[in-house]
């Protein structure tokens, strides 16, 4: 239960050092809402560039609430946002759409700097090593290990099955990504476990990489 207003004041340039401050502007009295009882918290984020000029501000109003019950919370949905029963949509933009498009074709791609060759994920416009804006992609082999993971029990969001394993996978190419796991019980997931690529075709518009325990390499 969040909404925000974004205002831009000046352009950023490559090399700008951006700072962010956030202040709590307001906390409402206790309110009873359809979601539960809670407070509306308003915060103001201010982004500044290296000359201490304000680049943008973002005011967030978030309802911090106690769900009426876990079941009621699972059924409720914001007026905008998730489509009932489906996984949340990724926020697509010019810097990440290629990655999700490749996933629809069951290709796990990794963004690569076209100048220095450094691989990066999450996707982004600029190389963190050499600041080049030129990039292409390589196809991941689809092998890696579980670098870390959590098992999510609550809050339960429609479109997912719980308990839900959310893992950080380290690919053999060196980049890491967050993914769910398939073909393994949550209690059997271990850090360091070798994994291989699988796919979750969540719905006609959304395919996401997932990882399952790697097949044994016998003989």
Q: Could you list the residues that contact Zn ion (CB under 5 A)?
A: 113, 115-116, 118, 127, 129-130, 132
CB of 119 to Zn ion, least distance (A): 10
Please say which residue, 92 or 116, places its beta carbon nearer to Zn ion: 116
Please say which residue, 118 or 137, places its beta carbon nearer to Zn ion: 118
CB of 144 to Zn ion, least distance (A): 22
Please say which residue, 98 or 147, places its beta carbon nearer to Zn ion: 98
CB of 173 to Zn ion, least distance (A): 15
Please say which residue, 113 or 140, places its beta carbon nearer to Zn ion: 113
CB of 118 to Zn ion, least distance (A): 5
CB of 129 to Zn ion, least distance (A): 5
**What is the full DSSP assignment across the chain?**
-EEEEEEE-S---TT---EEEEEEEEEPPPEE-SSEEEEEEEEEEEEE-TTS-EEEEEEEEEEEEEES-HHHHHH---SSSSPTTSPPPP---TTTHHHHHHHHTT--EEEEETTT--EESS--SS-TTT----EEEEE--SEEEEEEEEEE-SS--TT--SSEEEEEEEETTS-EEEEEE-SS-GGG--TT-EEEEEEEEEETTEEEEEEEEPPP---
Please say which residue, 37 or 133, places its beta carbon nearer to Zn ion: 133
């Amino acid at each position: 239960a969040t909404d925000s207003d974004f205002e831009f004041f000046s352009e950023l340039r490559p090399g700008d050092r951006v700072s962010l401050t956030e202040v709590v502007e307001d906390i409402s009295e206790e309110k009873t809402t359809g979601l539960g009882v809670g407070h509306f918290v308003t915060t103001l984020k201010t982004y500044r560039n290296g000359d201490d000029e304000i680049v943008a501000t973002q005011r967030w109003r978030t309802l911090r609430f106690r769900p009426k019950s876990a079941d009621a919370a699972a059924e409720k949905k914001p007026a905008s946002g998730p489509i009932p029963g489906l996984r949340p949509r990724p926020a697509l933009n010019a810097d990440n759409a290629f990655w999700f498009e490749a996933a629809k074709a069951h290709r796990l791609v990794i963004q690569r700097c076209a100048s220095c060759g450094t691989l990066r994920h999450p996707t982004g416009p600029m190389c963190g090593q050499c600041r080049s804006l030129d990039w292409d992609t390589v196809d991941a082999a689809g092998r890696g290990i579980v670098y870390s993971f959590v098992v999510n029990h609550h809050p339960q969001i429609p479109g997912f099955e719980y308990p839900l394993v959310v893992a950080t996978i380290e690919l053999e190419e060196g980049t890491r990504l967050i993914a769910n796991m398939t073909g393994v019980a949550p209690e059997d997931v271990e850090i360091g476990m070798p994994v291989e690529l699988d796919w979750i075709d969540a719905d006609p518009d959304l395919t996401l990489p997932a990882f399952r325990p790697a097949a044994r390499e016998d003989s």
